[in-house]
Chain A
């Protein structure tokens, strides 16, 4: 009687524990995880790659640059997509766990300030953009627009897109607390397209007819101005591997970096290819 009671407890604890463990494990195949900015590129490239090499199963998911790099450190993914470079804190964690993340530059992204198409403002300087995002410029007429309040739309502070904006436009100063927050490029595009007072910023791949792209310091954000470095708000995009890549991982990355193959899709998805 007593023994069976103990057995019941043991079984219960075992089942609970296995549930806890099961959530920590993942399947073994080529998994790619990370930034939703890089995701559309990886999706197209993975599709094309699978047409040539159908035997490899590629598991793609987007959870943000931080999650991707976290997965590399934890060893739960083969390739991490990131819209920013690895942070010092993450490097330290990788060292603690005995991992060596290797970065590969796969494309360029160009972040473009956008307004509603009804807004007649064409061009803003970096200083004006900064003042708008600091909450100092509150009305469009201060920058040559209509007499309407400026509704500032920003991204969540942990996104790679925000980081680029913070670094290139804000110069490390804070976006004022009254700025609206949207959690993705698509959401910013949606919010700006629906609001004549709004200003936001999105990756060049998310530009559409419902949005008007602004020039920055008189320079149009485009492929050419991104590659020659003249457009002030652009950045490289990365894929990280666990140590130097081998086997399927290196095959996939070579495909990705091939100007005739992977890079073609970078262009198709609206990003800026390396060559």
Chain B
């Protein structure tokens, strides 16, 4: 031992500080880079034109940089996928935590979590090769690569997240609460709906928002199955182009530091703001509805 205990303590503390600083600093630099590369586009178009413009023709002459159809596409895909994935995810979670036998739960939960580890490109390929022709034939559509297909595939991806986190939340509701409810004569269904769900609402909300922010930021799936038409969708079977798909498809060949390049980075900023808000809301809800019921927690 060459060093005294206190200096060893100090060195270790510093080391951890350095490590934490590097990761936070890197994140900050990436954010800075995003902003610095995105801002120059606003010398050419105003923020209102950029957000509200209906046409996205970045390479024509003169170019149009309106990402309104893309924002709408991202929101539409996310909302539709939420409408599919939230009921599925939360109900599966309730079933697993409250109704299913212990043995079934121990098999089913890891399998559902395994779903989350499916690479998005595999899900995208599935959507393109299997789901798209199926949708096209069943509903007699022009193309199966559309909003609905993308939402379905994204729901696939967010169900495991939503289910797994909600299940943890529901499972950790104190037994005393449930027992009290049952002792007062409530049925099992009443207990689940009126006691267990409200008690675990913060965990469930966090799960939902995390699932949704995965859906809105997901790139590969929407690039492959959303169709990619930069227009305002008229029905759920219209092809759309969400923000990440546009960035991924065009970034590779956009002239370096040209206005198209800057516009794509600005699109990235908008996308970042979306996911940032989602995470902020998740954080808020988690704090606001923190479970404070049972004393024996």
Q: Which residues of A contact B (CB under 8 A)?
A: 4, 8, 11-13, 15-16, 19-20, 63-67, 69-70, 73-74, 87, 89-90, 93, 149, 151, 156-160, 162-163, 166, 172, 174, 177-183, 187, 190-191, 194-195, 197-198
Contact A158 to B21, CB < 8 A, known contacts A66-B256, A67-B253, A182-B228:
no
| The one of A16, A162, A191 that contacts B26, using a Cβ cutoff of 8 Å | A16
Closest residue of chain B to A5, judged by CB? Answer: B14
- CB atoms of A157 and B256 under 8 A apart: no
Q: Is the CB of A158 within 8 A of B143?
A: no
Smallest distance from the beta carbon of B172 to chain A beta carbons, Å?
Answer: 37
Contact A194:B239 (CB < 8 A) given known A93-B257, A158-B253? no
Is B268 in the interface zone, CB < 8 Å from A? no
Contact in complex: B57, A157 (CB < 8 Å): yes
Contact B25–A13 (Cβ < 8 Å)? yes
Q: Are A172's CB and B255's CB within 8 A?
A: no
A82 to B, closest residue via Cβ:
B253
CB distance from B59 to the nearest CB of A (A): 4
**Interface of chain B residues 247 through 267 with chain A (CB within 8 A):** 248-258, 260
In the assembled complex, how far is the CB of residue A275 from the closest CB belonging to chain B, in whole angstroms?
Answer: 29
Does B58 sit at the interface, judged by CB under 8 A?
A: yes
A107 to B291, CA, bound (A): 68
Complex partner residue of B142 from A166, A174, A177, A197, CB under 8 angstroms: A197
Partner of B256, one of A12, A70, A163: A70
B143 touches A151 (CB 8 A): yes
Q: Indicate whether B169 reaches chain A with its CB closer than 8 angstroms.
A: no
A176 (CB) vs chain B CBs: closest residue: B231
Inter-subunit contact B257/A66 (CB<8 Å): no
CB distance from B262 to the nearest CB of A (A): 12
CB distance from A6 to the nearest CB of B (A): 11
Q: Which 3 residue pairs of A and B lie closest in terms of their CB atoms, listed nearest first? A: A181-B228, A64-B252, A64-B253
Query: A12, A64, A157, A183: which contacts B21 (Cβ < 8 A)?
Result: A12
Nearest to B10 among chain A residues (CB) is A4
User: Which residues of the partner chain B approach A191 to less than 8 Å between Cβ atoms?
Assistant: 128, 145
Complex contact A156–B255 (CB within 8 A): no
- Interface assignment of B191: CB less than 8 Å from any CB of chain A: no
B residues 15-34 near A (Cβ < 8 Å) are 17-18, 21-22, 25-26, 29
Between A and B, 5 residue pairs with Cβ closer than 8 Å are A158-B249, A158-B251, A180-B143, A190-B129, A195-B144
Given contacts A12-B17, A13-B25, A16-B29, contact A63 B239 (CB under 8 A): no
Q: CB within 8 A of A157: which of B10, B58, B257, B258? A: B58
Across the interface, A183 reaches (CB within 8 A) one of B29, B55, B136, B249, namely B249
CB distance from A77 to the nearest CB of B (A): 13
In the assembled complex, how far is the CB of residue B64 from the closest CB belonging to chain A, in whole angstroms?
A: 9
Encode B221-258 as 1/0 by CB contact (under 8 A) with A: 00110011111000000010100010011111111111
Chain A residues, Cβ within 8 Å of B162: none
Interface set, chain B 27-73, CB cutoff 8 A to A: 29, 55-61, 69
Q: Are A194 and B252 in contact (CB under 8 A)?
A: no
A159 touches B143 (CB 8 A): no
Give the secondary structure class of A's interface: helix
Whether B253 and A181, one on each chain, are in contact in the complex, defined by CB atoms closer than 8 angstroms, is no
Is the CB–CB distance between A181 and B241 below 8 Å? yes
Closest chain-A Cβ to B272's Cβ sits at a distance in Å of: 19
A158 proximity list for chain B (CB < 8 A): 58-59, 249-254, 260
What residues of A have a CB within 8 angstroms of the CB of B61 in the complex? 172
CA of A63 to CA of B61 in the docked complex: distance in angstroms?
Answer: 24
B229 lies within 8 A of A178 (CB): yes
B239 touches A180 (CB 8 A): yes
In the bound complex, how far is the Cα of B104 from the Cα of A118, in angstroms? 48
State whether A8 touches B57 (Cβ < 8 A). no
Q: Which of B25, B143, B231 is close to A16, meaning CB atoms less than 8 Å apart?
A: B25
Asked if A12 and B25 make an inter-chain contact with CB atoms under 8 angstroms apart, the answer reads yes
Residues of B within 8 A of A177 (CB): 55-56, 69, 229-231
A194 to B223, CA, bound (A): 17
Distance from A258 Cβ to chain B, minimum over Cβ atoms (Å): 29
- Which residues on A sit within 8 Å (CB–CB) of B96? none
For B25, list chain A residues within 8 Å (CB).
12-13, 16
B133 proximal to A (CB < 8 A): yes
B229 and A67 contacting across the interface, CB-CB below 8 Å: no
A179 to B231, CA, bound (A): 9
CB contacts (< 8 Å) of A178 on chain B: these are 229, 231, 239
Q: Distance in Å from the Cβ of B6 to the closest Cβ of chain A?
A: 12
Q: Which residues of B lie under 8 Å from residue A70 when comparing CB positions?
A: 255-256
Q: How far is the CB of A269 from chain B (nearest CB, A)?
A: 21
B18, B55, B60, B254: the one contacting A66 at CB < 8 Å is: B254
In residues 125-150 of chain B, which contact A (Cβ within 8 Å)?
Answer: 128-129, 132-133, 136, 142-145
CA A183 – CA B224 in complex, angstroms?
Answer: 9
Determine the chain B residues whose CB is within 8 A of the CB of A16 once the complex forms: 21-22, 25-26, 29
List of A residues within 8 angstroms of B254 by Cβ = 66, 158
Contact with A151, one of B21, B29, B128, B142 (Cβ below 8 angstroms): B142
Complex Cα gap A190–B225 (Å): 12
